[in-house]
Structure 1
Amino acid sequence: MKTFSKFITLFLLLMLLPLCAQIKISGKITYKNKGIPNISITLKDTYDGATSDKDGNYSFETSEKGNQTLVFTNSKYEEVQKPIVLNDENITVNVDLKEQINEIDAVVISAGSIDASDKKRATALLTPIDIYTTAGADGQISSALNYLPGVQKVGESEGLFVRGGTGAETKIFMDGSLINNYFSNSVPGIAGRDRFNTSLFKGNVFSSGGYSALYGQALSGVLILESVDLPETTSYDVGISPIFLTGSYQKLSNSKTYSYGASLGYSNLKFIQKILNFNTDFEKAPESINGDANFRIKTKSGGFFKYYANFDSNKLSVLSESLEPDSDQNKVSLKGSNIFQNLSFKQKFGRYLLNVGTSYAYNKSDVQFSTLLNNVPKSSFASNTLGNYLNAKAVVERKINKISALRGGFEFNNANENSQYDGFHKKYSDLISSGFLETDLGFSNNFSAKVGVRAENSSYLKHWNFAPRVAFAYRLAKNYTTSLAYGIFYQNPESKYLNSSAPLTFQKAEHYIFQVQRNTEGRNLRFEAFYKKYDQLIKTSGEQNFQTAINNQGNGYAKGLELFWRDRKSIKNIDYWVTYSYLDSKRDFQNYPISLMPSFAAKHTFNIVAKKFVTKWKTGFNMSYTYSSGRPYYDIVDNNGQNIIRHEGTLKNYSGLNFSLNYLPNLGKKDSKAFTVLVLSISNILGQKNVYGYNFSNDGMRSSAVVPPVNTFVFIGAFISFGVDKTTDAINNNL
């Protein structure tokens, strides 16, 4: 027993010996002189350590001796390692940490823009599935953008009318290169449609102001489209409706390093015109044929080549009641054709990223204007345009750190046009040479800036411009950020107004933008205020349909407030967004005799979009509604060399309720070899009789309303895909 007692005593002494020899390590952890909690403190290569309390204090004991390393870690801060020497005395180690900079936590500058291509952003909006399932958008990107704040509802002309700007003041880019013919050819009063298939693009950035120095020649905004990379698999697609027939094929190589494909489509409104009550009297219903081809190659070194080409031709002929006493009908006939090609290459070289691209556009538009008396041609003249446009661009980017970068490059945009209007012939040629430099500066996860500059030279105008741009973003709190942006933007006058040798220069706009955004899971709230100042706008003279620029003495402004709210969380399985835009704008430009609110600007615009997919019924239900206050209209004529307003007024308020549903008959069938979507879409379901403007007779005594081709439009179609199961995209709908 005595021997056993001695053994126990010795064992306890050995166990207590380390405890008696333990040393206390303590201290305080701070960030910008404030104690911070939840910092992990460990003695390297041991199990000894602690976690800081709410005031940043910590303490723990260890029996280790000699040279050691104390490690301080937290995902939000840079790791710190402190060498220490442990003897027989307690020690104090205080540390001041630095914030960990990373792309995910860093605040993003978003003043004036909405990005739908960056998966890190919860505000991603108007992805391809968003566009296809927005009632009233008809699958067109430009139409879907009408449901965002800042975009005006203008139905009589194609283009994006942004914050008091004309449709020509917003430019569209594909993989960095300018698209000079995004919309199809059109006639007065009937807007052209998007020529590009929405499914071609994997995302977009829409900027309604304050955009990057990488883009130019746009006074109001830019739409930046990014095309898809390699397809998921080889597939065949067919689209069938009373309006069109389409087919496409995409081949993915077995190695998944390259793909190629093509599509062909035909559309004709003749059949649907017999069913629906059209406002427009189409002597020849709109008819078009279109096709495209593409290839994509992923190189062994990680580079990526993309090539895309499309073509289309369209025809139509419209009859309308004449406002002149010597004829009873007017006739406008159109024959148009377009070609677009785009080649881009992207490659990383260490810390450098190279993006180069070029695009070519060919536009031909032949419009014949005729007057008829008792169905017999009385007089006629033609308006013909043939244009060739070449764009080339190169951008080099170097990463400075995780959230900072420097990029720069050059761009060339060459235009050549031959046009004729009622016997007047014109040749127009211009080379715009541009250089740009821009940097992203990430000072912390809560504060960042973008500073850039762009310079341009026009061979036609024989002038240079210099355009600085700057933007800041700051995180006010966990879910709140604010952004500020300022920039100067220049744009050439539209070539259709360049009909004389009058000395001209660039048109100019200054943008000031302030934004506050609250972003939480499933919800996004944005408030934006803006002010735009216009200078050097062109002034024109001549008859209404043939204006000629005479000087750059025009000016104007646009200011307003915008609100955007998107919610995927509050109402179960329903995704909806609401927008409101207030716009106050006046311009003295083109043939305006004084400063006036532009005829394409509405003071108040309200949109609501809602979507729900019912899995049990295999059906998605989509609704949208648009309201905008009445736009002004003017009858401006040239009176002995002086422009005067002969008639003016305000249009009735615009209102349109749209509905669509998507039915997936293959949903749940595992052995189905085809994915099918049946679509029913009804635009302006309540049949509101909206008016876009008025045409006036030569003497001003008679007028006629410019109205949509049809008040209520019904579309029924089927889309079948062999080889690709798109069910997940269709039913998730980004909810």
Structure 2
Amino acid sequence: MKEQGQKLLFLITFSLFTFSFAQVKVSGKVMFRNKGIGDVNVSIKNSYDGATTDANGNFTFETSEKGDKILTFTHPKYIDVEKPVTIENENVSVNAELKEQINEIDAVVVSAGSIEASDKKRATALLTPIDIYTTAGADGQISSALNYLPGVQKVGETEGLFIRGGTGTESKIFMDGSLINNYFSNSVPGIAGRDRFNTSLFKGNIFSSGGYSALYGQALSGALMLESVDLPDQSSYDFGISPIFLSAGFQKLSEDKNHSYGATLGYSLLSVMQKVFNFNTDFIDAPQGLNGDFNFRIKTKSGGFFKYYGMYDSNKMGVRGESLEPEYDFALVRLKGKNTYHNLSFKQKFGKYLLNAGTSYSYNKSDLNFSTETNDLESDKTQLLTDGNYINFKAVLERKINKISALRGGFELNNTDEKLHFDQVNKHYQDLISSVFVETDLGFSNQLSAKIGVRGENSSFLNKSNIAPRVALAYRLAKDWTTSIAYGLFYQNPESKYINGPSNLDFQKSQHYIFQLQRSTEGRSLRLEAFYKKYDQLIKTFNVTPNNEQNQQVLTALNNDGYGYAKGAELFWRDKKTFENIDYWISYSFLDSKRDFMNYPVSLKPNFASEHTLSAVAKRFIPEWKLGVNLSYTYAKGRPYYDIATKDVNGQIVNFTRNEGRLKDYNALNISFNYLPNLGKKDAKAFTVFVLSISNILGSKNVYGYNFSVDGSRSSAVVPPVNTFVFVGAFISFGVDRTQDAINNNL
């Protein structure tokens, strides 16, 4: 036995010696752009022999494999490389140069001037529908929530997105690629119209405060691109109730989950709240509205997608204010408004090509009646009646070049037909804007990308055309740091309300220069952006006095001699990670802007532009209580105001500033509570939210501007309809339980 053990030991020792003698060392270095790469897996194909490179890209391992073999080099961020190698009895040295693996996740994306909230950008998504609903002071409106982002001015007396020194009409809103004409409800002077569209209709958005894509046009300042929801997860029924409104709706999903349809109906009336709160505005007719919509969505067998959305909206109100003219006691204005909108879109892949096509139609009617009241007797009414028909059609064809590069192009038609009647003035404005565009996304590497596009437009009314080039570059400075620059030329037709007759006018024009620095990590986002905008060919207007008995002054477009600039810097910080169950963001905007346009006598700071704007939003969700507590605060430096009058100097009519000053600084602190109780059976598919929202909880007496008498000797402040407003409501859904979604989106 002892002898056998010795033989066995000798055999094992000899085998180990032989095995050791047969081992060959394989070594080398793996590089990318002459720099060593760590964590690259190097191995002999179809064997277990291999190693991982160190921080400098070096590797070494031993193998007993012999003959012609394949050495593989793999890393998630680089393209796999295979190299043939012959292994005999001598050590082998093999070096490899890798190429970057370009993919949609790691590639840097051009983002100068834009903020995206969509399925593709969940990591840094901003202003998703749940964000909007839970932002105190936003009232569930997309446009109001955007006021808490950098670049957007808080202008309370009129609707619209006032972006980086631009007017509210210099920004445009799109739904599934098609232009939305009259996004806001009709209103009276001094009171802003509200969003006509329900926030829950949209699943994502891209908000561009400058340098936006060549696919969109006719906006000097910015664009908001809204993407409607696809098929619902399942059928549901929804109800909403509050002292202000009642609403009900449903969504029906087919059993094969390939199509759905739904509708909603809502009615609002403010008269109950008038009895509870001390309103600044004397509503002789309480604001009320009726709205309804219908939608269907169809997924075809070939993978195409049809979406239709149609809505009807009507509203009316009446306002009485003290007259600034001594011969009258009060000035009255009454409104009746109607609007309908239809949007049909289609998306389909054809091999390597993707077609997006859509069309929209809207009709809007605004009937304003002005009168005065003296000793309880009302004067004859003066009517301002406008109605318009708007048709938009757009088609975009896109082809992917590689994973992060694409080429797209298409055309757009936008037809306007408007009629206006005011006193003795009647006009009919018609215009067809035809546009073509081409744009490419170029991904040179995961660190460098570009977006280059050009858009051409022709206006039948102006009988002129334009060419607008746009370019943007993005570069990754480090793992979490990126920088972007953008330049673009943008055109927009003069507003039709200033065109009272044949005019030799041209497109208004702006140029955008944008620089952005951004850092994004899990749960945190920091954006710094600087911009410069140059305006040319802005509309200048003047007052003429026609020879008629009323001596009525008529505002008439004169020329395109207006000009201006806007420059500034912005900061945005959002943090969902530092504090448990707390999401907060802070935005600051500095704006330096001047314009000589409209009836301005000289270049002035616009009365809608605030030099400093600061916003802070904080949200705390308490899971065990199913309670969300939301705060928001906005500060804006007081805007300038002007009383611009007209006088005749030596037979010439000139404008001059008669009264001017600066408004008090704007301040508003808002708070809201969202409570999600358990109603009904534990396993019931139901979702309920109780909402309590208090706007301007500290009761700050903000002023939006001033109105002046004809001679300029008297004035009245333009103020919010109410200083502090309280909203209480309940929203109930049956058929689908979104409780966990609501909780998770708030964490």
Q: TM-score, normalized by length of structure 2?
A: 0.97
Task: Tell me the equivalent position of 1:84.
Answer: 85
Secondary structure class of the residue paired with 1:159: coil
Deviations 1:452-502 (A, max 9, x none): 100000000111110011111111111111110110000001111111212
Change (3 A) 1:669 1:119: farther
Change (3 A) 1:287 1:668: closer
Distance in structure 1 (CA, Å) of the matches to 2:316 and 2:121:
44
Moved over 6 A (4+): none
Task: Tell me the equivalent position of 1:249.
Answer: 250
Task: Tell me the equivalent position of 1:162.
Answer: 163
User: Does the 8 A contact of 2:679 with 2:686 survive in 1?
Assistant: no
Task: Tell me the equivalent position of 1:553.
Answer: 561
Distance in structure 1 (CA, Å) of the matches to 2:323 and 2:89:
105
Task: Tell me the equivalent position of 2:541.
Answer: 540
1:590 has 2:598 as partner: yes
Secondary structure class of the residue paired with 1:542: strand
Distance in structure 2 (CA, Å) of the matches to 1:734 and 1:79:
41
User: Does the 8 A contact of 1:184 with 1:193 survive in 2?
Assistant: yes
Amino acid at match of 2:104: E
Distance in structure 2 (CA, Å) of the matches to 1:522 and 1:705:
43
Deviation of 1:671 (Å): 3.0
Amino acid at match of 1:374: N
**How is 1:705-720 mapped onto 2 (pairs within 5 angstroms)?**
705-720=717-732
Secondary structure class of the residue paired with 1:193: coil
Amino acid at match of 1:438: E
Range with bigger deviation, 338-347 or 7-16: 7-16
User: Does the 8 A contact of 1:666 with 1:672 survive in 2?
Assistant: no
**How is 1:99-498 mapped onto 2 (pairs within 5 angstroms)?**
99-498=100-499
Task: Tell me the equivalent position of 2:615.
Answer: 607
Deviation of 1:350 (Å): 2.1
Distance in structure 2 (CA, Å) of the matches to 1:459 and 1:348:
34
Deviation of 1:546 (Å): 4.9
Distance in structure 1 (CA, Å) of the matches to 2:727 and 2:715:
32
User: Does the 8 A contact of 1:129 with 1:729 survive in 2?
Assistant: no
Secondary structure class of the residue paired with 1:122: helix
Deviation of 1:260 (Å): 0.2
Deviation of 1:667 (Å): 7.4
Amino acid at match of 2:638: G
User: Does the 8 A contact of 2:621 with 2:746 survive in 1?
Assistant: no
Deviation of 1:573 (Å): 1.3
Deviations 1:425-471 (A, max 9, x none): 00011000001111111111111111110000000011111001111
Corresponding residue to 2:662 among 632, 650, 658: 650
Task: Tell me the equivalent position of 1:659.
Answer: 671
Distance in structure 1 (CA, Å) of the matches to 2:663 and 2:12:
98
Amino acid at match of 1:620: G
Deviations 1:654-707 (A, max 9, x none): 111111101112179623443211111110111111111111111111111111
Deviations 1:305-364 (A, max 9, x none): 100000100011111111112211111011110000000011112221110000111001
Amino acid at match of 2:573: W
Change (3 A) 1:516 1:545: farther
Corresponding residue to 1:680 among 692, 706, 714: 692
Deviations 1:605-657 (A, max 9, x none): 01111111112322111111111010001111222321111111101111111
Distance in structure 2 (CA, Å) of the matches to 1:245 and 1:601:
37
Distance in structure 1 (CA, Å) of the matches to 2:83 and 2:262:
59
Task: Tell me the equivalent position of 1:695.
Answer: 707
Structure 1: unaligned runs, 5 residues or longer: none
Secondary structure class of the residue paired with 2:19: helix
Amino acid at match of 2:716: S
Range with bigger deviation, 323-332 or 145-154: 323-332
Distance in structure 1 (CA, Å) of the matches to 2:719 and 2:698:
16
Amino acid at match of 1:384: L
Secondary structure class of the residue paired with 2:402: coil
Distance in structure 2 (CA, Å) of the matches to 1:169 and 1:383:
23
Distance in structure 2 (CA, Å) of the matches to 1:701 and 1:379:
25
Deviation of 1:83 (Å): 1.3
Task: Tell me the equivalent position of 1:671.
Answer: 683
Distance in structure 2 (CA, Å) of the matches to 1:100 and 1:26:
24
Deviation of 1:67 (Å): 1.7
1:563 has 2:610 as partner: no
Deviation of 1:566 (Å): 0.8
Secondary structure class of the residue paired with 2:313: strand
User: Does the 8 A contact of 1:383 with 1:420 survive in 2?
Assistant: yes
Amino acid at match of 2:21: C
Amino acid at match of 2:324: L
User: Does the 8 A contact of 1:667 with 1:727 survive in 2?
Assistant: no
Amino acid at match of 1:606: L
Distance in structure 1 (CA, Å) of the matches to 2:606 and 2:693:
32
User: Does the 8 A contact of 2:69 with 2:85 survive in 1?
Assistant: yes
User: Does the 8 A contact of 1:104 with 1:120 survive in 2?
Assistant: no
Task: Tell me the equivalent position of 1:617.
Answer: 625
Amino acid at match of 2:566: A
Structure 2: unaligned runs, 5 residues or longer: 545-551
Deviation of 1:734 (Å): 3.9
Change (3 A) 1:357 1:514: same
Distance in structure 2 (CA, Å) of the matches to 1:109 and 1:121:
16
Deviation of 1:84 (Å): 1.6
Deviations 1:185-225 (A, max 9, x none): 01100110000000000011100000000000000000000
Deviation of 1:377 (Å): 2.1
Distance in structure 2 (CA, Å) of the matches to 1:110 and 1:701:
50
Deviation of 1:11 (Å): 4.9
Secondary structure class of the residue paired with 2:716: strand
User: Does the 8 A contact of 2:531 with 2:569 survive in 1?
Assistant: yes
User: Does the 8 A contact of 2:581 with 2:746 survive in 1?
Assistant: no
Deviations 1:550-593 (A, max 9, x none): 10010000000111111112222111111111100000001101
Deviations 1:47-91 (A, max 9, x none): 011111121111112121222110000001111001122222222
**How is 1:513-524 mapped onto 2 (pairs within 5 angstroms)?**
513-524=514-525
Distance in structure 2 (CA, Å) of the matches to 1:78 and 1:547:
65
Deviation of 1:122 (Å): 2.4
Amino acid at match of 1:713: F
Distance in structure 2 (CA, Å) of the matches to 1:507 and 1:704:
33
Distance in structure 2 (CA, Å) of the matches to 1:156 and 1:88:
86
The total of aligned residue pairs comes to 735
Amino acid at match of 2:744: N
Distance in structure 1 (CA, Å) of the matches to 2:680 and 2:516:
44
User: Does the 8 A contact of 1:332 with 1:369 survive in 2?
Assistant: yes
1:581 has 2:589 as partner: yes
Distance in structure 2 (CA, Å) of the matches to 1:291 and 1:30:
63
Secondary structure class of the residue paired with 2:614: strand
Amino acid at match of 1:285: A
User: Does the 8 A contact of 2:454 with 2:469 survive in 1?
Assistant: yes
The root-mean-square deviation of aligned C-alpha atoms, in Å, is: 1.4
Distance in structure 2 (CA, Å) of the matches to 1:411 and 1:205:
20
